[in-house]
């Protein structure tokens, strides 16, 4: 084993890998609602997925900034997100069909990454890219999954990442605003248990993720590396196949 791989294994954050796996699981559970089963209650755990993906981005941005006094844009990270934003769009639209009118979630995460880097990293090119990304998020919020607030969520997570857990109320509120909060609030007023659960999941999702990141799992976690990008478009195709079988 090379020295580089040895160092990577020693510093691998099992809590972060676990957070990513749980985010993936929450996402798949959410998308099971479109297979054809009557499982609307899966909307509740599905509200955790985006918050935890944004929290994972915040962790990566914070680490990148800590590696050097004046780091720049993480080109590889951005490139992978951008490429799979395109790759995932066809299976996303194929599976979701008439259920949604927005792009898949990766463009939102890409813009969110740029904004978070612009806030934390002290270089003019990075900050300009962050401002431009925020402008795109605001201008095209209707076309983005989770809208402009979704673009801001990684930054909200970044601002409270190493601070008191009580401050997690900030990304919790942003998470709620990035979801269908008018429908959630309206359903809650009527006593709809799914809406009540979704409200709680949105508000507590970032806090739960921060708690997990501060724990040390007593078990091994399969490292989630770049191959995991394939899970996003791949799970749409698998669920589409399941829906066809059920029909």
pLDDT digits (tens, 9 = 90+) for 10-47: 467 999 999 999 999 999 999 999 998 999 999 999 99
> What pLDDT, on the 0 to 100 scale, is given for residue 72?
62
Could you tell me the two tokens for 144? 């983005």
In whole angstroms, give the CA distance from residue 136 to residue 154: 16
> What pLDDT, on the 0 to 100 scale, is given for residue 4?
41
Q: Which domain holds residue 168?
A: 10-246
In whole angstroms, give the CA distance from residue 38 to residue 119: 42
Structural domain includes residue 219: yes
Structural domain includes residue 5: no
Total number of domains constituting the chain: 1
**pLDDT under 50 in the chain at which residues?**
1-10, 69
pTM over 0.85: yes
Q: How far is CA 244 from CA 27, 36, 221, 231, in A?
A: 20, 10, 33, 20
Structural domain includes residue 3: no
Structural domain includes residue 165: yes
Structural domain includes residue 33: yes
CA angle 114, 116, 120 (to 5 degrees): 120
In whole angstroms, give the CA distance from residue 46 to residue 24: 10
Could you tell me the two tokens for 67? 């590696």
Q: How many CB atoms lie within 10 A of CB 42?
A: 17
Structural domain includes residue 4: no
């Amino acid at each position: 084993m090379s020295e580089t791989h040895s160092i990577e294994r020693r510093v691998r954050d099992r809590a972060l890998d676990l957070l990513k796996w749980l985010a993936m699981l929450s996402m798949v559970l959410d998308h099971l609602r479109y297979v054809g089963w009557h499982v609307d209650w899966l909307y509740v755990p599905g509200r955790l997925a985006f918050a935890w993906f944004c929290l994972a981005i915040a962790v990566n941005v914070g680490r990148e900034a800590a590696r050097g006094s004046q780091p720049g844009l993480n080109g590889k990270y951005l490139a992978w997100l951008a490429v799979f934003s395109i790759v995932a769009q066809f299976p996303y639209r194929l599976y979701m069909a008439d259920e949604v009118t927005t792009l898949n979630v990766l463009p939102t995460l890409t813009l969110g990454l740029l904004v978070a880097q612009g806030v934390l990293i002290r270089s003019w090119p990075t900050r300009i890219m962050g401002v431009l990304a925020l402008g795109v998020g605001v201008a095209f919020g209707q076309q983005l999954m989770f809208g402009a607030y979704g673009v801001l969520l990684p930054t909200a997570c970044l601002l409270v990442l190493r601070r008191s857990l009580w401050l997690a109320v900030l990304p919790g509120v942003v998470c709620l605003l990035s979801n269908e909060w008018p429908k959630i609030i309206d359903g809650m007023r009527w006593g709809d248990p799914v809406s009540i659960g979704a409200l709680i999941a949105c508000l507590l999702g970032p806090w739960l993720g921060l708690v997990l990141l501060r724990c040390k799992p007593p078990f091994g976690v399969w490292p989630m590396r770049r191959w995991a990008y394939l899970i996003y478009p791949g799970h749409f195709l698998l669920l589409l196949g399941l829906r066809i079988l059920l029909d």
